């Protein structure tokens, strides 16, 4: 039987279909003969007489037409399921009724001895059984290990043995696709169920449930100790948000030399089904409570729009570009001065989206270049992510910081207004609150600049805006971005240490880049519809609680299968120029307004009048021309900035909120 199946499915699809049709018709004839034998019927005419042969031919024609009409040959056998077998049942039932009806009509004109209802009941049962049996057998072969024997691939690479951690329903799907993949990359050897009290010892498609909560870690330690050979630990989708043991499971696996991956999606390319696994990133391990993105709302906002992203080759900008394309943007233009960064971006974006992606190598502080770019592209929204962000470096390179972060923002904002761009959004930073560094001072100035334009630009007498809507979105560190502590620590761990930390007391807010980008787009969508007293120049993202940097380092070392301080030393270097022990998101004179959007707040803050900002920028240009750092920073410091309470007080009391808006 296996040799027959192998031979049939080696043919081309059209030839396979013909063979299956012939096979089904032969099965019908066999079913007729068996029904007569099993019911011990003695027909009054010879089966091989002229009348008998005409009867056989008639049954064949009727069966063929009926099976084609019922769609028996539009199903791919390897994916045959309950509805397909029900269709066979229905087809056999209809065929039985049709043949019985024709027999009644025939017997009305010419009686036939030995023909009664009993034969037709047996015919129905036999025909369904022998027609569905080959399909069921082939499905069994494709779903099980037998297919590996069937294909006779002696050079086949041994599949990795894996444990699956997740829900039982998802385990069923994973097992099916790992078995049908060609070549078989993974073989599920056991299931660790995330449901509490799942029946350990039971089996799904022959694979045993080896553990359930709360004994997941204990069982995995047994595997990692070498008592059982396992190559890979596969987490189901969303497991990192469902179980508290997630980080510890990753640590135990990596410490025992077991690779870790996470189920992402199914790939159904060609005739082979495969599961797609993603690498487990540190931003997933150091998880924080997340809220699912409102895909419908941000998709409706971005869909069909022309989006310009300055600094699009950077971490946040790159993700903004990719996300805009995924959400159906009509076109996306990247403006960045890094040739290599733009090249890397082209590798990061899916090839199918390249026709909607445009790139320009420009300096955002160059008014002539930016005017040409915006005039030609005609964007509906500008996401201004271009900025210099390395705190210690900018203390020495203050001129570049001011040129890019302040005057670059000014140029892009004024060009947006001049060219009639409907919306301009500045990516801001928590370092703009009570700034102590060049980076913080320049980002605060950029916020003030955008806020002033928000208040003054194109306000009609009725209070509604007729021109560009200016807003800024303030948030903390993005985990895994270029130059972030995560990437630095990862490189240090891979080099064998030491991992360097400025101060053991230091904390930072962290958010995954994917979540930050979706919330930024959501803020832009919200701002589009606001006017009057509920119109906010600055939005703030809910970053959760600050995370100790020392905890991040220790966790990353453990996730690499090492022991902090023993395998990988941790060295404290002291706070660098411009750094603070604790960042804050809210100034003393700022009020946070709760909106109808999860994880996003509106900020009511002091706003400097646009003429005052212009005067400060003119004085700043003079200081820049004279290369006078003290004067330049003094000019920026004159822009109002509220004093911030002690970080400990702020963390204890939480953000001050007013009312419900929106």
pLDDT tens-place string over residues 581-604 = 888 888 778 888 989 888 899 998
Question: pTM of the entire structure?
Answer: 0.63
Residue 249 has pLDDT above 90, yes or no: no
Mean pLDDT across 304-332: 94
Cα(139)–Cα(154) distance, rounded to whole angstroms?
Answer: 22
Residue 4 has pLDDT above 60, yes or no: no
452 or 532, greater pLDDT: 452
Cα(550)–Cα(568) distance, rounded to whole angstroms?
Answer: 13
Q: Where are the alpha helices (DSSP H) in 529-576?
A: 549-559
Name the pLDDT band for 483 (thresholds 50, 70, 90): low
Pairing between strand 331-336 and 160-166?
A: unpaired
For 160-268, which CATH class?
alpha beta
Highest mean pLDDT among 38-47, 120-129, 402-411, 649-658: 402-411
490 or 550, greater pLDDT: 550
Cα(604)–Cα(590) distance, rounded to whole angstroms?
Answer: 6
**Angle (CA) 616 629 410, round 5°:** 40
Residue 28 has pLDDT above 90, yes or no: no
Q: What is the pLDDT of residues 348-378, one digit of tens each?
A: 888 888 899 999 999 999 999 999 999 999 9
pLDDT of residue 643: 40
DSSP 631-662: HHHHHHHHS-------HHHHHHH---EEEE--
Contacts of the segment 291-298: beta carbons below 8 A, 24+ positions apart = 291/598, 291/599, 293/515, 293/518, 293/519, 293/522, 294/522, 294/597, 295/327, 297/522, 297/525, 298/327, 298/518, 298/521, 298/522, 298/525
Beta bridge partners of 163: 190, 233
160-268 and 295-476+512-543+601-639, same CATH topology: yes
Name the pLDDT band for 407 (thresholds 50, 70, 90): very high
Residue 507 has pLDDT above 70, yes or no: yes
pLDDT of residue 245: 79
Mean pLDDT across 49-71: 79
For 295-476+512-543+601-639, which CATH class?
alpha beta
567 or 176, greater pLDDT: 567
* Burial (Cβ within 10 Å: 0-12, 13-18, ≥19) of residue 62: middle
pLDDT of residue 72: 74
Q: Which of 439, 584, 580, 564 is nearest to 505 (CA)?
A: 580
pLDDT of residue 448: 93
The answer to whether residues 375 and 421 touch, using CB atoms and an 8 Å cutoff, is: no
179 or 414, greater pLDDT: 414
Q: Which of 139-143, 271-275, 442-446 is predicted least confidently?
A: 271-275
pLDDT of residue 298: 93
Mean pLDDT across 7-11: 50
Q: Which of 612, 595, 470 is nearest to 541 (CA)?
A: 595
Residue 275 has pLDDT above 60, yes or no: no
Q: What is the pLDDT of residues 445-471, one digit of tens each?
A: 999 999 999 988 645 444 555 589 999
Q: Which of 173-177, 230-234, 303-307, 622-626 is predicted least confidently?
A: 173-177
* Percent of the chain predicted with pLDDT > 90: 29
Residue 271 has pLDDT above 60, yes or no: no
274 or 628, greater pLDDT: 628
Residue 638 has pLDDT above 70, yes or no: yes
pLDDT of residue 279: 57
pLDDT of residue 272: 46
520 or 179, greater pLDDT: 520
Cα(525)–Cα(299) distance, rounded to whole angstroms?
Answer: 10
Q: Could you say which DSSP state residue 599 is in?
A: T
Domain ranges in the chain?
7-143, 160-268, 295-476+512-543+601-639
pLDDT of residue 361: 95
Beta bridge partners of 273: 268
Mean pLDDT across 325-352: 90
Mean pLDDT across 70-76: 70
pLDDT of residue 231: 84
Q: What is the mean pLDDT of the chain?
A: 80
Name the pLDDT band for 647 (thresholds 50, 70, 90): very low
């Amino acid at each position: 039987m296996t040799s027959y199946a192998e031979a049939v499915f080696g043919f081309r699809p059209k030839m396979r279909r013909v063979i299956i049709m012939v096979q089904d018709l032969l099965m019908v004839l066999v079913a007729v003969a068996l029904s007569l034998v099993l019911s011990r019927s003695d027909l009054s005419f010879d089966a091989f007489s002229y009348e008998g042969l005409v009867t056989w031919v008639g049954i064949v024609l009727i069966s063929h037409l009926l099976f084609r009409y019922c769609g028996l040959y539009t199903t791919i056998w390897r994916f045959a399921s309950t509805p397909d077998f029900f269709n066979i049942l229905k087809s056999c039932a209809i065929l039985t009724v049709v043949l019985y009806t024709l027999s009644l009509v025939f017997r009305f004109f010419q009686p036939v001895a030995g023909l009664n209802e009993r034969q037709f009941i047996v015919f129905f049962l036999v025909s369904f059984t022998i027609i569905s049996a080959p399909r069921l057998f082939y499905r069994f072969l494709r779903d099980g290990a037998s297919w590996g024997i069937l294909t006779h691939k002696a050079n086949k690479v041994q599949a990795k043995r894996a444990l699956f951690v997740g829900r039982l329903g998802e385990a069923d799907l994973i097992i099916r696709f790992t078995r049908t993949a060609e070549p078989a990359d993974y073989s599920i050897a056991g299931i660790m169920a995330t449901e509490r009290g799942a029946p350990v010892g039971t089996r799904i498609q022959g694979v045993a449930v080896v553990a359930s909560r709360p004994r997941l870690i204990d069982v995995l330690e047994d595997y990692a100790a070498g008592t059982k050979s396992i190559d890979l630990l596969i987490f189901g989708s969303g497991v990192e948000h469902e179980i508290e043991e997630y980080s510890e499971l990753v640590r135990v696996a990596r410490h025992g030399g077991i690779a870790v991956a996470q189920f992402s999606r199914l790939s159904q390319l060609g005739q082979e089904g495969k599961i797609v696994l993603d690498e487990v990133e540190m931003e997933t391990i150091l998880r924080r409570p997340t809220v699912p993105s409102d895909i419908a709302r941000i998709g409706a906002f971005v869909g069909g729009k022309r989006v310009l992203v300055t600094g699009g080759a950077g971490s946040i900008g790159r993700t903004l570009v990719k996300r805009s394309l995924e959400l159906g943007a009509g076109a996306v233009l990247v403006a960045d001065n890094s040739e290599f960064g733009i090249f890397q971006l082209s590798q990061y974006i899916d090839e199918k989206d390249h026709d909607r992606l445009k790139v320009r190598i420009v300096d955002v502080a160059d008014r002539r270049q930016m005017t040409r770019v915006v005039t030609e592209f005609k964007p509906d929204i500008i996401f201004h992510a271009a900025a210099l962000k390395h705190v210690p470096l900018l203390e020495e390179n203050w001129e570049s910081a001011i040129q890019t972060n302040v005057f670059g923002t000014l140029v892009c904002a004024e060009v947006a207004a001049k060219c009639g761009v409907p919306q301009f959004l500045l990516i801001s930073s928590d370092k703009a609150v009570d700034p102590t560094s060049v980076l913080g001072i320049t980002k605060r100035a950029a916020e003030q600049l955008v806020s002033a334009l928000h208040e003054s630009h194109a306000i009609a007498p009725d209070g509604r805006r007729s021109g560009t809507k200016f807003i800024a979105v303030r948030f903390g560190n993005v985990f895994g971005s270029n130059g972030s502590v995560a990437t630095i620590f990862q490189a240090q761990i891979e080099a064998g240490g030491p991992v360097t930390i400025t101060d053991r007391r230091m904390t930072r807010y962290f958010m995954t880049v994917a979540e930050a980008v979706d919330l930024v787009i959501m803020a832009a969508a919200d701002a589009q519809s606001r006017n009057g007293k509920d119109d906010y120049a600055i939005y703030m993202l809910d970053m959760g609680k600050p995370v100790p940097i020392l905890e991040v380092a220790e966790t990353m070392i453990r996730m690499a299968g090492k022991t902090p301080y023993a395998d990988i030393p941790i060295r404290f270097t002291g706070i660098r120029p411009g750094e603070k022990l604790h960042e804050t998101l809210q100034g003393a004179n700022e009020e946070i307004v709760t909106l109808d959007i999860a994880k996003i707040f509106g900020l009511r803050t002091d706003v400097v009048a646009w003429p005052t900002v212009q005067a400060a920028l003119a004085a700043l240009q003079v200081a820049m021309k004279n290369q006078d750092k003290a004067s330049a920073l003094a000019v920026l410091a004159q822009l109002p900035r509220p004093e911030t309470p002690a970080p400990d007080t702020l963390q204890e009391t939480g953000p001050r909120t007013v009312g419900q808006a929106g």
